[in-house]
Amino acid sequence: MKIRMAEKWEEIDALLKMSLNSSSLAVTPSSSTSESRPLRYTSIFDCKEKAVSQEDIGYGSCRQVNEFEKLNRIGEGTYGIVYRARDTVSNEIVALKKVRIDEKQSSAAGISESALREITILKRVKHDNVVHLKEIAVSKDIKGMFLVMEYCEQDLATLLDHLQVPFMVAEVKCILIQLLTATAYLHENFIIHRDLKVSNLLLTAGGILKVADFGLARIFGEENMRMTPRVVTLWYRCPELLLGSTTQTPGVDIWAIGCILGELLLHRPLLPGKTEIEQMDKIIQLLGTPTTKIWPAINELPALKSFDLKPQPFNNIKVVFENVSPTGCELLNLLFTYDPSKRLSAAIAAKHPYFTESPLPCDPSVMPSYPQIRNSRKRKSTNVSTVTVS
Ligand SMILES: Nc1ncnc2c1ncn2[C@@H]1O[C@H](COP(=O)(O)OP(=O)(O)OP(=O)(O)O)[C@@H](O)[C@H]1O
């Protein structure tokens, strides 16, 4: 068994190393931010951040999961179950995300591609507003692998479902500015999240927002990098993906952030389409029909002919968001720019005057916190994602 374990983890380790060294993922960090740092592969065997060689410790420094006491189940996503747990060594409360191991998986050792992605990306990012992967724990047998993450008290989807009144504008701004800061950091480091939505935004007890769930994230920058258009949960999916674009830009995250801002302001999902056609219709209802004048490349999108774009000449942002200031409506329109090449960047959006006009973003420490609703139901939108990993 020991030998099988060693082989298995070495196999995963080699795969991670290969994926990060391959040309499609070879990137150089941006030098435009002080937070940028070399994106370097660190071995899965380095998972406790201290420099211990594999030889020193046998099968890597990963601790066994039985050093964590599972307290309760806090979430279940497409790719694994998430538990609240106590580290019996440090007494710290952590989140344990179990990675499904399926021997039938095509990737190494039965670990899904999305889990490998999540690990490789989370190990290279370090930002206050991105969930921190502390280490990887393993079960005694070969069946379990767990991401040990900092614990966050709630996710925004559950919070939204339970709040009787909408967030105050100052609270919306507090959340959004943190989300934009995190996204700017990711984009500066060539990472597109590709699944931003309220259930993937976590809040700590101190109101700090943490972007989570990097199972669909990708490194971008390579010319003509083709990606499947069927990523991003439908309600948050941008028009270029709906229309079949395979070249994805950071703009897919920016569009999703527009949907999140809309949802926070309205206290309901902004564009809850049930099918791709309905999704596109809802976008057109809100923003008007896109034309080649505002989006010259639209005619080149492969799936355009499958859609019958209804003529709708009006932009209804001000109607739908009647209680939102003109500056707020302007920010929404910029986030919802049809042409992805003209869509606002996260870094520029974070400097938009909406955040400096009254009411100002509140301090995270005064964000509402309801630990008692932590284990309540998860919204159905999560199931609408129909994602394909590529
Ligand atoms: N670090 C954490 N702290 C607290 N709760 C968490 C943490 N990570 C995840 N969760 C909870 O578990 C849920 C599922 O986690 P996550 O989104 O990472 O899993 P997934 O399988 O990738 O989900 P999805 O189906 O949305 O892709 C989250 O919505 C959140 O409620």
Pick from 136, 161, 213 the residue to mutate for probing ligand 1's pocket: most ligand atoms within 8 Å of its CB.
213
> What is the band of 24 on the pLDDT scale with cuts at 50, 70, 90?
very low
- pLDDT of 202-232, one tens digit each? 999 999 999 999 988 988 865 545 666 666 7
Q: 68-150, superfamily in CATH?
A: Phosphorylase Kinase; domain 1 (3.30.200.20)
What's the 200 CA to ligand 1 centre distance in angstroms?
A: 6
Q: What is the pLDDT of residue 15?
A: 57
Task: Decide if domain 154-373 falls under CATH 3.30.1240.10.
Answer: no
Does 199 sit in the ligand 1 pocket, CB within 6 Å?
A: yes
Q: What residue has token string 């564009």?
A: 271
Q: Is 48 annotated as a binding residue?
A: no
The reply to whether 195 belongs to the active site is yes
Q: Which residues pair with 97 in a beta bridge?
A: 82, 147
What's the 157 CA to ligand 1 centre distance in angstroms?
A: 11
Nearest to 74 by CA among 384, 364, 371: 371
Is the distance from CB of 193 to CB of 201 less than 8 angstroms?
no
Nearest CA to ligand 1 atom 12: 75
State pTM to two decimals. Answer: 0.84
List the structure tokens of 307.
Answer: 């859609």
**Which range is least confidently modeled, 10-19, 122-131, 274-283, 381-390?**
381-390
Does 80 sit in the ligand 1 pocket, CB within 6 Å?
A: yes
Does 298 sit in the ligand 1 pocket, CB within 6 Å?
A: no
Residue of 46, 87, 155, 195 with catalytic role: 195
Nearest to 331 by CA among 254, 219, 235: 254
Is the distance from CB of 210 to CB of 130 less than 8 angstroms?
yes
- How large is the ipTM? 0.95
Sorted by where each begins, the domain ranges of the chain are: 68-150, 154-373
